[in-house]
Chains A and B, each alone.
Chain A
Amino acid sequence: MSGGVDSAVAAARAVEAGHDVVGVHLALSRMPGTLRTGSRGCCTIEDSRDAWRACDVLGIPYYVWDFSERFKEDVVQDFIDEYAAGRTPNPCMRCNERIKFAALLEKAIALGFDAVCTGHYAKVIEDADGNRELHRAADWAKDQSYVLGVLTHEQLKHSMFPLADTPSKAEVRAEAERRGLSVANKPDSHDICFIPDGDTAGWLAEKIDMATGDIVDETGRKVGEHPGANAFTVGQRRGLKLGTPAADGKPRFVLEIRPKENKVVVGPEALLAIDEIRGIKVSWAGLPIAEVVTGEEFECHAQVRAHGDPVPATARMEPAADNGGSQLVVRLATPLRGVAPGQTVVLYQGSRVLGQATIDAARSLQRAEL
């Protein structure tokens, strides 16, 4: 329980459904701030107290579990390493994969619990054989199935999302109010919880060695200099400070970051359109569909951001060229802008989450023809 309204209402619903519920607040930092500032961050002492208060109102025990060491290694360090390697990671996803539904779940199972119940907006349903599937929440505007797309069959077996069918966040707040939960009107949290002021670039600059290098255009011609390649993200337009204007006078965007050469590649907007994605570290949310097993191509929708629109695509598992493993190849019927290695692509069929992969390469057909 984060101390927010969603997890408080999820806990209330689980209690009401007759489960034996214990509230657990994750301590993800050994140096928690005392008070929340605005809507940022989490794990402050105030958040911990809010969660505790909610548990007291619900009449359930409350514990703080300290996962700060694992969080530091598995989420925060991973975030830094990924950026240092020129990729764009999703730390919320890593946290779900490795902390909430792994470290926490593992401890919970050892202590005799059956499941981890969270306030995520997503839905778990069982097929005729009792196998679990992950689906979008009823309220697509609040749907968080993307950040849960990384959950495996085993993790889903021990997951409960009581907010699945809630028509809207307003409903959850009204329910919290009705139940006497004081967090009913607490603002939503935003951004990355371990970067308290929201300044990701500034935070990264303190952690990663930045060296000045060249900005080149799509043909390899030097068009400017940058203070450190890792501070840039694919799709970025502002702050490039290019000395040499483009031949056509149109704005240029970051197309690619090459950490090994410490180069930032820029080019026209058209070249940002990605037609094909190759994904590694593939996992399936529940049992994989038949085509995955047979290696056939299948129709699906692909989503590359927590709050991005899914686009129609075809996908298939293919042998990876180099190491004998396999990779997921997704061909996008509608090209997507601003796709960066390190991001996660989640595949859907209707409301069902099929699985996910970490984007290793994003290909623009137009650029490939250059």
Chain B
Amino acid sequence: MPVYLDHAATTPLSAEALAALTRELARTGNPSSLHGSGRRARRSVEDARETVAAAAGAHPSEVIFTSGGTESDNLAVKGLYWSRVGENPARRRILCSAVEHHAVLDTVEWLERHEGAEVTWLSVDADGVLDLAALQAELSREPDTIALVTVMWANNEVGTIQPIGRIVELAHAAGVPVHSDAVQAFGSLPVDFKASGLDAMSISGHKIGGPVGVGALLLGRAVKLTPVQHGGGQERDVRSGTLDTASIAAFAAAAEKVTATLGTESARIAALRDRLIAGVHELIPEAVLRGAPGNGRLPGNAHFTFPGCEGDSLLFLLDLAGVESSTGSACTAGVPRPSHVLLAMGLDEDTARGAQRFTLGHASVEADVDALLAALPDAYARARQAGMAGRESSIQTAGTIARHAQAGS
């Protein structure tokens, strides 16, 4: 069995979620139907809604089930933008952190290209923490022209936690609603929607032990949102489409499990993470931890740049040694690109290319960290060698022969 250190990509289905999923999949019934089968399905969905609401610190009517984090982000950002512009056509500014997941980043860029949005990318410091002064400066400049602020709760690549409470305070003082992508935070940190004051918040099922293909947007009861997907009027008329009873029930089971054990699990996982970080620093002193230190980052996230390495070489060599990790960033047609998060934190492209993310989850144990630390030195040495492959080929080619002959004559 390979050692799985990519829990931020997806994490194994919890036993509770699997039981709920298989139970519900065997049943028939559309939760919108009025007959017995429909009533039974609706009962499951509404139970799940209350469970997810309790887990996320929200009221049940604030839970809008979606197909996952990406849909929740699209719905929140586009829906808020359109609704705010609809109320006042002058509100076209979106304030967005420079380190967002592509589900937010690309949505915002799309609104900029097609819907007349004016985007301000809010800068972050070297740890990836949002610059509150920059946010304040933008908010005080014609606040009436701002449609929304969107800042993630915790970063998916480097694990840095954002000061969501302060961000909401500042934005609300200026009368601007705030959305946060809490896909990585929910299930790893205490996340309380009501206490946060957020207007909208995205969460996902498969990052917390639920199935892929289900998530939710938590949406304040007073917040007006223009629907993106039209149809039967489900979910407050904001997100039409037949509800996926089985996935929703499984998502709720996972959410219940993960929040019940959050305190002990996050402490256990953070201890593993700290051992992993200390181990990497001891073996490879030149590796640099990226993101905020200690409690400033997600308990399960350890992210490094390894100088002179290409992230995908390291990934390949670790995979070969049975350790599964990630470079942390998206790629274009499989072509590894330097992470926009690391660039926003001030790294140059070459340094950013050496990124490797190790993420722990509820299934992680000491032996996983040991296996990584055993495999890493060799993988690092080889990846460095491959990364050093210089401009002039060390392999003899027709070109090098000709150049040497010329140099010799």
Contacts and interface: CB of A to CB of B under 8 A. Distances in A.
A106 B393 contact: yes
Contact of A27 (B334, B388, B393): B334
A321 interface: no
Interface string A319-348: 000011110000000000000000000000
Contacts of B409: 323-325
B336 A64 contact: yes
Contacts of B405: 325-326
A19 to B, nearest CB: 14
A101 B400 CA distance: 13
B330 to A, nearest CB: 13
B395 A106 contact: yes
B285 interface: no
28 contacts: A27-B333, A32-B333, A61-B319, A62-B334, A64-B335, A65-B312, A66-B336, A98-B399, A101-B397, A102-B395, A103-B389, A106-B394, A106-B395, A107-B313, A110-B386, A112-B382, A152-B397, A152-B398, A153-B396, A154-B395, A155-B395, A281-B398, A281-B401, A281-B402, A282-B402, A283-B398, A283-B401, A356-B398
B331 interface: yes
B140 to A, nearest CB: 39
How many chain A residues sit at the interface, stated as a range, is 35 or more
- What is the predominant secondary structure among interface residues of chain B facing chain A? helix
Contact of A106 (B317, B334, B389): B389
Given A111-B386, A324-B409, A155 B396 contact: yes
Looking at A68, A153, A324, the one whose CB has the most chain B CB atoms below 10 A away is A324
A107 B386 contact: yes
Q: Looking at chain A's contact residues, is the secondary structure mostly helix, strand, loop, or mixed?
A: mixed
Interface of A: 22, 25, 27, 30, 32, 45, 48, 52, 61-66, 68, 97-98, 101-103, 105-107, 109-112, 150, 152-155, 158, 280-283, 323-326, 356
B312 A152 contact: no
Given A107-B389, A281-B399, A325-B405, A48 B333 contact: yes
Contacts of B399: 97-98, 281
B389 A152 contact: no
B398 A63 contact: no
A285 to B, nearest CB: 10
Contacts of B332: 32
A27 B388 CA distance: 19
Nearest to A64: B334
A244 B331 CA distance: 58
Contacts of A68: 335
Nearest to A152: B396
Interface in B308-336: 312-313, 316-317, 319-320, 331-336
A111 B317 contact: yes
B383 interface: yes
